[in-house]
């Protein structure tokens, strides 16, 4: 997945998007478009072999829960710029883009479709980041916030129960020119 993203990060983002969507769809009748988490939030690797609830606690020792933020396309652009400036493999799902030689995002696709500036996108993240943690100030500009009351750790536990074997995401989500 390159140095910009990690398999475990993409896995976490995919799991959060998928499990969060089950609740969001039922409750709000909307789909989560993107999941964006922070690199520092993952505290262990996913070992080969049997996965238990303990594995979920090791990977996600925090009490964070999943929140869905309604962001305009403009804020998604800020998110992409933040990702580029940070130079850290922040987990991302539902969105791909290319980083130009001038360090700007281009070819931004959300769920496979080109970004629209005025469209509202539903971005799943954790409650810490939703409140502007890690200087993710674009989340503070959300038009609406939906708290799913679903801990990231429980998302992992439920996800582990629902898939076997556990998929390892190998797709390229962020390219560099």
Task: For residue range 103-157, list pLDDT tens digits in order.
Answer: 999 999 999 999 999 999 999 999 999 999 999 999 999 999 999 999 988 898 8
- Per-residue pLDDT band for 29 (boundaries 50, 70, 90) equals very high
Identify the DSSP state of 166.
Answer: P
**126-153 as b/e: b if 16+ CB within 10 A:** bbbbbeebbebebbeebeeebebebbbb
**CA 10, CA 17: separation in Å to the nearest integer?**
10
Single pTM value for the model: 0.90
Q: What pLDDT digit, counting tens, does each position of 150-177 carry?
A: 998 889 889 888 888 878 888 889 999 9
Two tokens at 23? Answer: 């609740």
The predicted pLDDT at position 119 comes to: 97
Q: What is the CB-side half-sphere exposure of residue 145 using CA atoms within 13 A? A: 18
N-to-C CA span, the chain: 15
pLDDT > 70? residue 40:
no
Average pLDDT over residues 78-100: 94
Which pair of tokens denotes residue 116? 């629209």
Q: If you average pLDDT over residues 23-52, what whole number do you get? A: 82
Percent pLDDT > 90 in the chain is 64
DSSP, residue by residue, 91-153: -EESEEEEE-TTS-EEEEEETTEE--TTSEEEEEEEHHHHTTGGG-GGGGG-SEEEEEEEEHH
Check residue 1 and give its pLDDT: 42
Q: Write out pLDDT tens, residues 56-71.
A: 667 666 788 999 999 9
Q: Identify whether the C-beta of residue 36 lies closer than 8 Å to the C-beta of residue 139.
A: no
pLDDT of residue 91: 92
Between CA 132 and CA 138 the distance in angstroms is: 7
Percent of the chain residues topping a pLDDT of 70: 88
* pLDDT for the residue 44: 59
Instruction: Please check the confidence at residue 22 and state whether its pLDDT lies above 90.
Output: yes
């Amino acid at each position: 997945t390159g140095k910009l993203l990690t398999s475990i990060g993409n896995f976490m983002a995919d799991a959060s998007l998928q499990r969060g969507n089950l609740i969001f769809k039922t409750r709000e009748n909307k789909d989560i478009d993107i999941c964006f988490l922070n690199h520092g939030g993952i505290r262990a690797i996913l070992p080969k072999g049997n996965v238990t609830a303990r594995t979920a606690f090791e990977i996600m020792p925090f009490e964070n829960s999943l929140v869905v933020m309604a962001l305009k396309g403009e804020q998604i652009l800020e998110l992409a710029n933040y990702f580029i400036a940070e130079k850290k493999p922040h987990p991302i799902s539902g969105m791909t883009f290319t980083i130009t030689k001038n360090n700007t995002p281009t070819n931004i696709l959300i769920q496979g479709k080109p970004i629209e500036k005025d469209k509202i996108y539903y971005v799943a993240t954790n409650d810490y980041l939703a409140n502007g943690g890690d200087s993710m100030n674009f989340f503070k500009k959300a038009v609406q916030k939906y708290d799913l009351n679903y801990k990231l750790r429980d998302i992992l536990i439920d996800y582990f129960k629902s898939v076997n074997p556990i998929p390892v995401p190998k797709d390229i989500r962020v390219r560099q020119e």
